[in-house]
Structure formats: structure tokens, C-alpha cells
Amino acid sequence: MSDKTTGLIHHPYVPPAGFEAPQPGVFKASTVFFPNVAALRSREWKDKTGYTYGLHGTPTSYLLEERLATLEGGAQCLLVPSGLAAIATVALSLLKSGDELLIPDNAYGPNKALALGELKDWGITHQLYDALDPQDLARRISPRTRLVWLEAPGSVTMEFPDLIEQVRICKAAGVTCALDNTWGAGLAFSPFDLAPQDGAGQGVDISIHALTKYPSGGGDVLMGSIITRDPQLHIRLKLTHMRLGLGVGMNDVEAVLRSLPSMALRYREHDRTARALAQWCQGRPEIAQVLHPALPGAPGHAHWQALCGAGEGMAAGLFSVIFDARYSAAQVDAFCDALRLFKLGYSWGGPVSLAMPYALGSMRQPWPAHLARGTLVRFSTGLEAAADLQADLAQALAALG
Ligand SMILES: Cc1ncc(COP(=O)(O)O)c(C=O)c1O
């Protein structure tokens, strides 16, 4: 080396192979080196036989993709910068002008907003279907329907749909169905094998997951995944993923890899706390309705029971309450402001419990018959002790006036 600067970069030392430790190595790259031109020309970037460019993955992101595909029972996985990016990538990949998509009436709001915004501008129409009535979904499928979104349960009003029947309807009509599986997290049920006991093994075509929630578990990472079992569908999504330039940062991938081993334990704890608090809220005179799919009588409870109810059953740490109509929205705001342990903030799945008031009237029109009238607050239980969270709710209820 004639120059020390070059020597700093082209240094001959190679660490010995054979290092093994609990956490995998973190490989970061935009540029990936090729040993020669022939290797560059022959490298296949659409599968995991090699590396081409950081946007298409490094050993670190390949590993997370494989673990997530295994978790959800799929075969391929794409990582994207957020859960919403996963929703948008599916829509942009599968829909073109003249097509229609169907979205459940209780879907994650930004999914509907995408349909009302860019998709509408591009000549793609949508209809909302009744998440609790599979026949309503069946009636709305037409030759123009190219994508059906499924969500179990709806992320604010928590109705659990008859997912098996919804998937059966989509398959019979030959329409691709994509599930927002953030709530189930690959733990509460298997999206690609919804009815293994029937021998049908029927499952969704695509499962998207906001890794931002339980897989990250820290409230500090944004990421999403798109999981499939069909290699052709995966390649179609991957081409869109490539053309949109959707990369993820390897430090974030590392954070998710580090959190994944504890996810099932955390999920059970979030679940236990949410169920205890939801049951307690049912006994409170200020609250007209508690929405949690594991509570008998909650909308869609029987479908939750059928899919996730084995043993104690599994559910995420989310529930909503509708305050009695005698309380104004301002009084419910005062309740939220009085909370101390529950913080006000979007998202869920992290260590800190969260509360969020929603104006249901602007989200669902007309007001669904199965929901009490009143202001809704959604809670995401963190990892604090349930008794402390219950005391926090009790002291804040006093602020209702
Ligand atoms: C059900 C559901 N899907 C998707 C998302 C989007 O995830 P992200 O915040 O990573 O975009 C969220 C976020 O709150 C969600 O609740």
C-alpha cells in the first residue's frame, strides 16, 4: 500500500470463522462486493442464494425473514419499513386501474385512507363489507374484485370475524385475500392453516404483520412484514417491493431479532393483563360496553373461541370500552388526561400501557347496532402489574365527574 488511507480500507486481516453467540451478527450494507464480473452478472437477487445490494437484504434481514415466515407458517417473507408500508405494498402490487378491493368496515383506519386517497385517484375502487357477516362479503365480490382485506379482530372495535368462512368465500371466488395479522402475531392462530382439524388446512394468501407491535416489543422500532406461501405471489410482491425501494435498517432488524425470543412470553402477559382489566371494566357502572373478543358476549366471541380458544385461549393485550352515553366526549377526555400509568399514544405491543380515545361516529357510519352509543377508549396493556393498572383506571374514572 503506497498510502495509509488505502491501507485503512483494504486491510488483509480476516477474523477467524466459527464465532457463535446467542444473538446473530449484524450485517449492514448498501454496497455488496462481488468477487468478479461473472459473479456479478450471474447473481440472482430474487431468492436467498446470494447477496446483491443492501435493499435486497443482508444475512441479518434474511434471518429475520426466515424466522417470521416460520412463526406464521408461511414460506416467504418481505420486510418493509412499517406495518402500513406492508398494507400499501400489497395494494400497489396487486391492484391496477379498474380493479376493486374489499375492506372490512372495522379495518385499521389508514388502510381505508389509502383506498380513499391514492387508490381512488388511480381508478381503483373499494367497498367496505360487514366484518361480522360473511354473506355480506360474498355478495360484494364481483369480477372486478382483486383483493380482499381481512382483519381479526378489527383494531379499535375488536369484533372477531368468521375468518375461516371469509377465507373460504375468497377461495371459492378465486380472489386473493390478505390478512392484517398484527393482533394474532403468529401466536393466537395460524393464518395459513386456519382449520387444520378439518383437514382443510385452508389459509390466507398473504399475512401482513406490523412488527412495530409485539415482535419489536419495545415501542421503538417501525417495521412490517409480508408473508406468503405461494412463490409466484411472493415474487410479484417482491418486484413491487424492489421498484418502490423499500429497505429496512439492520439496526432495527437486530432489535426485532433480539425481541423475538421473548415475544410469546410477553404476548401471554399482555393478554392476561388485558383480560383481567377488561373483566374489571365490565363491572364498572361508568362503562356501557367492553370490547374484547375473549369476553363472552363480545362481538364475534364465538369465532375467537373457535380459532384461538384452545385451553385458556390466546388474545393480544388490546381492549376497548364504550363509556355510558351520559358522559360527554369532554368528560371522557378528562378521564384519559387523568391516567398516570397509561400513556396517551398510538400503537400497542410495547412495555408501556397506552390509552387512546376514538370518535366512533366518524369512523363507522351508520353506528353499528352491536355497539353501545358513547365515547370509545382503546387500551393497550403494557407489562406493568395488572393491579397497578387497575388502580390507575379506578382513580381516573373519578375524573369523569
Ligand atoms: C392493526 C394494525 N395494522 C397495521 C398497523 C400499522 O403499523 P405501523 O404503525 O408499523 O405502520 C397498525 C398500527 O397501529 C395496526 O394497529
- In short, whether 182's Cβ falls inside 6 Å of ligand 1 is yes
Angle at 27 between CA 26 and CA 30, to 5 degrees: 140
35 Cα: distance to centroid of ligand 1 (angstroms): 41
In angstroms, rounded to a whole number, what is the distance separating the alpha carbons of residues 53 and 6?
Answer: 23
Mean pLDDT, rounded, for 112-119: 98
**Tens of pLDDT, residues 201-218:** 689 999 999 999 999 999
Ligand 1 atom, smallest distance to 151 CA: 1
> Does the CB atom of residue 155 touch ligand 1 within 6 A?
yes
Report CA(84)–ligand 1 centroid distance (Å): 6
**pLDDT tops 70 at residue 306:** yes
Determine whether the shortest distance from the Cβ of 335 to ligand 1 is under 6 A.
no
Give the model's confidence band at 199: pLDDT under 50 very low, under 70 low, under 90 confident, else very high.
low
Regarding the beta carbon of 166 and ligand 1, being less than 6 Å apart is answered: no
Q: Which of 160, 182, 206, 216 most suits a substitution to test ligand 1, by most atoms within 8 Å of the C-beta?
A: 182
CB of 108 sitting under 6 A from ligand 1:
yes
Question: How many whole angstroms from 82 Cα to the centroid of ligand 1?
Answer: 8
347 lines ligand 1 (CB under 6 A): yes
- Residue 1 pLDDT > 80: no
Residue nearest atom 13 of ligand 1, based on CA coordinates? 347
Confidence band (pLDDT; 50, 70, 90) for 200? Answer: low
Pocket test for ligand 1, best of 89, 150, 206, 212 (most atoms within 8 A of CB): 212
As a whole number, mean pLDDT of residues 23-37 equals 96
CB 83 less than 6 A from any atom of ligand 1: yes
Q: What is the pLDDT of residues 50-102, one digit of tens each?
A: 999 999 999 999 999 999 999 999 999 999 999 999 999 999 999 999 999 99
Cα angle vertex 40, ends 39, 42, to 5°? 65
The whole-angstrom separation of Cα 300 and Cα 391 is: 29
Q: Note the pLDDT of residue 329.
A: 95
Q: What is the pLDDT of residue 202?
A: 86
Please compute the mean of the pLDDT values over residues 302-330 and round it to a whole number: 96
Number of Cβ within a 10 Å radius of residue 106:
26
Q: Is the CB of 222 under 6 A from ligand 1?
A: yes
Q: How many A from CA of 183 to the centre of ligand 1?
A: 10
Q: Provide the pLDDT for residue 196.
A: 66
pLDDT confidence band for 198 (50 / 70 / 90): low
In the predicted model, what is the mean pLDDT of the chain? 96
Tally the C-alpha atoms within 13 A of residue 73's C-alpha that lie toward its C-beta. 18
pLDDT at res. 57: 96
Count of CB atoms situated within 10 Å of the CB of 261: 11
Q: What is the pLDDT of residue 2?
A: 76
Q: What is the pLDDT of residues 150-172, one digit of tens each?
A: 999 998 999 999 999 999 999 99
Q: What is the band of 114 on the pLDDT scale with cuts at 50, 70, 90?
A: very high
Residue 222 alpha carbon, nearest atom of ligand 1 = 10
pLDDT for the residue numbered 401: 77
pLDDT tens profile 345-386: 999 999 999 999 999 988 898 999 999 999 999 999 999 999
For the whole prediction, is pTM greater than 0.95?
yes
From residue 187, give the alpha-carbon distance in Å to each of 2, 28, 265, 338. 58, 29, 11, 34
Sheet hosting strand 145-151, strand order edge to edge:
76-80, 224-228, 206-210, 176-180, 145-151, 100-104, 125-129
Given its phi and psi angles, is residue 150 left (phi above 0), alpha (psi -120 to 50 degrees) or beta? Answer: beta
Residue 157 CB–ligand 1 contact under 6 Å: no
Query: How many percent of the chain have pLDDT more than 70?
Result: 98
Predicted confidence (pLDDT) at residue 280 exceeds the cutoff of 70 = yes
CA–CA distance, 101 with 194 (Å, rounded to integer): 22
Ligand 1 in contact with 180 (CB < 6 A)? Answer: yes
Residue type, 378: R
Q: What is the 3-state secondary structure (H, E, C) of 267-295?
A: HHHHHHHHHHHHHHHHCCCCEEEEECCCC
d(CA 401, CA 391) in angstroms, rounded, equals 17
Q: From the CB of 240, is ligand 1 less than 6 Å away? A: no
What percent of the chain is modeled with pLDDT above 90? 93
Query: Does the pLDDT of residue 146 top 60, yes or no?
Result: yes
Cβ count within 10 A of residue 344: 12
Q: Is the CB of residue 215 below 6 angstroms from any atom belonging to ligand 1?
A: no
Sheet of strand 287-291: strand arrangement: 287-291, 318-323, 376-380, 354-358, 343-344
